[in-house]
Amino acid sequence: MAAYARAYAREGSEGDRLGPITLRVAVLFHMVYLSVRGVLEGHLPLASVYDFLSATGLSMAVVYLYVEAREGIRTTGIFVIPFIFLIQIVSSAYGGKAPPSSIALRPIWFELHTLTAVLGYSAFAVSAIYGILFLLLYRDIRANHFSHFFRRMPPLEALGQMNIRAAGGGLALLTLAIVLGVGWLKRAGAGSLTDPMVWLTIFVWCVFAFSLLAYHRFGWRGPRAIYVSLVGFTTLLLSRVAVDLFFHSFHSFR
Amino acid sequence: MTSKAGLAALDFLCVGLNHETSPLEIRDALVMNEAEVERAIHVLRDRAGAEEAMILSTCNRTEVYARGASVSDLPLFVNDLLREIKGMDLGARGHRLYAYREPDSVRHLFHVACGLNSQVLGEPQIVGQVKDAITLAARSGGSGPVTERLLDAALRCAKRARTETGIGRGPVSSVYAGVSLASKVLGHLGDKRVLLVGSGEMAGLAMCHLMDSGVAQFTVAARNRERAEALAAPTGARVVTLEAIPVVLPGADIVVSATSAPEQVIAYETLRAAMKIRKNRPLLLLDLAVPRDIDPAAGRLPNVFLHDLDALAGIVAQSLEQRRAEVPRVEAIIEEEVLRFMRWHRSLELKPTVTAFRAQFERIAREELARHRGRFRPEDQPALEALAHGIVQKLLHRPTTRLNRAGEDGGTGIRRIDAVRELFGIEREEDPDEDRDPR
């Protein structure tokens, strides 16, 4: 995180490779840890909300590294890594005390469903962060406010593309997660398609699908396109919280 | 004439004037073309006895660099030279030239090359001008091992300053600030289309900067068709009248407007209609005109980025402030490079001194052996020669070691070399090629 903070703080530098290398090493260790746990427990370590958070943090890091490598921009890392760090701290602090979920995680279809959903959520989270950065930079440029933030951010168009690419990846993964989930439901008969999380997820899918359609088909650019994707991500977050707190759902970790 | 350093021991000198010491009218009158520079270098070599000479003449400075000139007052000589070549007598006008002796002359050249001595702090054009000066000096027979080495060092210093510090960072002209802003909003500009409104100097400058950033598709809208066509010619741009702006506007990603029209050229409604046609794709508007060409209300339209000269001046001011903050770091680099160059320069004097010093002792030993050869048996001769050689080596070991280090010891080292020369009667001679550092 310090390396990414330095990359952001140092004028005229794109940042050295220390941040990406350290993050790659951390991702590798985390993957090894989860793999060992998976082997020892006989299923993917996604049985509690804290496991879920830990996997989300890991996959956010993977998505971020992918976007960073693709765009060649390191100055935005400082806006993503703290979220990953926070998620991991919460997961590590409380993970040991959490009881495992009642959901049987054994069937491979379900495990893949969960895994793709986690990856999809992470991609949406990264997309939302880039969306917010886009809005902040958009506001600064239009207001002739040329601060350090203005100088250190990549071009507005690049932020917009990072937002839409991450959202596109998230939508593909969420589609896969939905297909796998429906497939698992049909085979195992363990849940119902009327489950609130299913409908909320389909709503989120529709919002992101519309966002991508508007971008590619209707040529939507700028804040309007970003706001749509942020609505999608906010719905996703709220639905996750709502399902855990207010609904009886087989998606709940309770 | 003034001198910032004592000029008693002339070696590598810089004499000249620049924008800080002279008004524009004088600087303009003294700008030399290539033929004049060549002539000046010949005069410096033939009449002032300069072994090497170079002239840096731009709109902001005219500076003469000379090595080994045998005249007692080089500033006076340069004054006469300028009168002879440019017909301007600075002395008669009460104008003064500055003069620097090494290491200040070296330091000054490095300051110039790094852009610290430029009107626009850190501007990069000066590097090309320094390169041109050495090319011209080489063509005129003015360059030599020291000036070549010095110019290499100056260019290295400038490169380090630009890569290791932020002295060249950020736009420092309004037009360039506008182009940087375009890159910030639209990213890569290679596939973007530009509408230039106006055909004056500002529009031309904007076109140059945009072309440098990769833009290839231009449309020029102007009242004066002839001037617009001249501006459009290098890029094959399309030329239209101002009345055609509503037609071409939707196709543009960047609009640079710089007319002298007293009224608005692009109205809010025109832009609103254009944005509708272009489905709200981002549009950058740079209004470089005074009074403004574009209705300021257009800045409220979504995805329209409207920036006028005041906004761009803000970016320029920020860049200059950041550049000023980098000056101490650049000066530290300059000091390192000056030290490095001066070490090399001293080594030119050092090596012949050490060689002559040792040769003198060995010659005395040989002469003494030859003088007393008859007093010893022939079979003892090799032992005697070895004994004499050994004594000389032992005697010379410490002085040679200390002398070899003299180049690293600054002023003390130079005094040491001078003392040895005086004590042992060693004449000054140089063999620069032998001592060039590998690069």
Annotate A26-88 with DSSP letters as a single string: HHHHHHHHHHHHHHHHSS-S-SSHHHHHHHHHHHHHHHHHHHHHHHT--TTHHHHHHHHHHHH
How far is residue B337's CA from residue B342's CA, in Å, rounded to a whole number?
Answer: 8
Chain A contact probe: residue of B303, B309, B318, B329 with most A CBs at under 10 A: B303
Tokens of A201: 């997820």
Question: Across the interface, do A144 and B307 touch by the CB < 8 Å criterion?
Answer: yes
CB < 8 Å to B280, chain A: 219-222, 224
| Contact with chain A for residue B169, Cβ under 8 A | yes
Query: What is the reported pLDDT for B408?
Result: 62
| Contact with chain A for residue B372, Cβ under 8 A | no
* Residue B44 Cα distances to B71, B78, B144, B198, angstroms: 10, 9, 14, 48
CB < 8 Å to A223, chain B: 302-303
Catalytic residues of B, by residue number, are 59
CB < 8 Å to A146, chain B: 314-315, 318
In the predicted model, what is the mean pLDDT of chain B?
Answer: 86
| Contact with chain B for residue A71, Cβ under 8 A | no
Question: Across the interface, do A155 and B307 touch by the CB < 8 Å criterion?
Answer: no
C-beta atoms surrounding B59 within 10 Å? 13
Q: Which residue has the tokens 């990213």?
A: B187
Instruction: Output Rg (C-alpha) for chain B, integer angstroms.
Output: 31
Question: Across the interface, do A141 and B184 touch by the CB < 8 Å criterion?
Answer: yes
How far is residue A151's CA from residue B126's CA, in Å, rounded to a whole number?
Answer: 26
Query: What is the reported pLDDT for A193?
Result: 62
Would you say B98 and B21 are in contact if contact means Cβ atoms under 8 Å apart?
A: yes
Structural domains of chain B, ranges and CATH numbers in brackets: 12-164 (3.30.460.30), 174-316 (3.40.50.720), 343-435 (no CATH)
Tokens of A234: 């906010």
Q: What is the pLDDT of residues B284-305, one digit of tens each?
A: 999 998 889 999 999 999 999 9
The residue length of chain B stands at 439
| Contact with chain A for residue B176, Cβ under 8 A | no
In the stretch 199-218 of chain A, residues with CB closer than 8 A to chain B read 218
Tokens of A25: 């090493």
How far is residue A241's CA from residue A49's CA, in Å, rounded to a whole number?
Answer: 11
Answer yes or no: is A21 within a domain.
yes
- How many structural domains compose chain A? 1
How far is residue A124's CA from residue A235's CA, in Å, rounded to a whole number?
Answer: 11
Cα of B188 to nearest chain A Cα, Å? 9
Question: Across the interface, do A157 and B281 touch by the CB < 8 Å criterion?
Answer: no
Q: What is the pLDDT of residues B354-379, one digit of tens each?
A: 888 888 888 899 898 888 888 888 88
Answer yes or no: is A253 within a domain.
no
How far is residue B133's CA from residue B41's CA, in Å, rounded to a whole number?
Answer: 11
Answer yes or no: is A20 within a domain.
yes
Provide the domain limits for residue A62.
Answer: 2-245
| Contact with chain A for residue B399, Cβ under 8 A | no
Of B188, B280, B299, the CB nearest to A142: B299
Would you say B267 and B237 are in contact if contact means Cβ atoms under 8 Å apart?
A: no
Cα of B150 to nearest chain A Cα, Å? 29
* Residue of chain B nearest A148, judged by CA positions: B318
Of B186, B281, B314, the CB nearest to A144: B314
**pLDDT tens by residue, chain B, 439 residues:** 433 333 333 378 899 999 888 888 888 888 899 999 999 999 999 988 888 999 999 888 999 999 888 888 888 899 999 999 988 888 776 677 899 988 899 999 999 999 999 888 888 888 999 999 989 999 988 888 888 888 899 999 999 999 999 898 888 888 888 998 999 999 989 999 999 999 988 888 889 889 988 888 999 999 989 999 998 988 889 999 999 999 999 999 999 999 988 889 999 999 999 999 998 899 999 999 888 999 999 999 999 999 999 989 988 988 898 899 999 999 999 999 998 888 887 777 677 788 888 888 888 998 988 888 888 888 888 888 899 989 998 988 888 888 777 666 655 666 777 788 788 877 655 444 444 443 3
Question: Across the interface, do A221 and B183 touch by the CB < 8 Å criterion?
Answer: no
Question: Across the interface, do B181 and A141 touch by the CB < 8 Å criterion?
Answer: yes
Query: What is the reported pLDDT for A214?
Result: 86
CB < 8 Å to A155, chain B: 183-188
| Contact with chain A for residue B186, Cβ under 8 A | yes
DSSP assignment letter at B266:
B
CB < 8 Å to B279, chain A: 218-220
The SS3 call for residue B10 is coil
Question: Across the interface, do A222 and B315 touch by the CB < 8 Å criterion?
Answer: no
Give the burial string for A83-117 (b: 16+ CB within 10 Å, else e).
Answer: bbeebbeebeeebeebeebebebeeebbbbbbbbb
Number of A to B CB contacts under 8 A, please give it. Answer: 54
Cα of B257 to nearest chain A Cα, Å? 18
Looking only at Cα atoms, what is the longest distance across chain A?
58
Question: Across the interface, do B185 and A141 touch by the CB < 8 Å criterion?
Answer: yes
Answer yes or no: is A251 within a domain.
no
**pLDDT < 50 regions, chain A:** 104, 254
Cα of A218 to nearest chain B Cα, Å? 8
Answer yes or no: is A224 within a domain.
yes
Of B281, B311, B314, the CB nearest to A219: B281
The reply to whether the predicted model has a pTM over 0.90 is no
| Contact with chain A for residue B224, Cβ under 8 A | no
| Contact with chain B for residue A141, Cβ under 8 A | yes
Answer yes or no: is A250 within a domain.
no
* Residue of chain B nearest A221, judged by CA positions: B281
> For residue B401, what are the contacts with CB-CB under 8 A and spacing of at least 6?
none
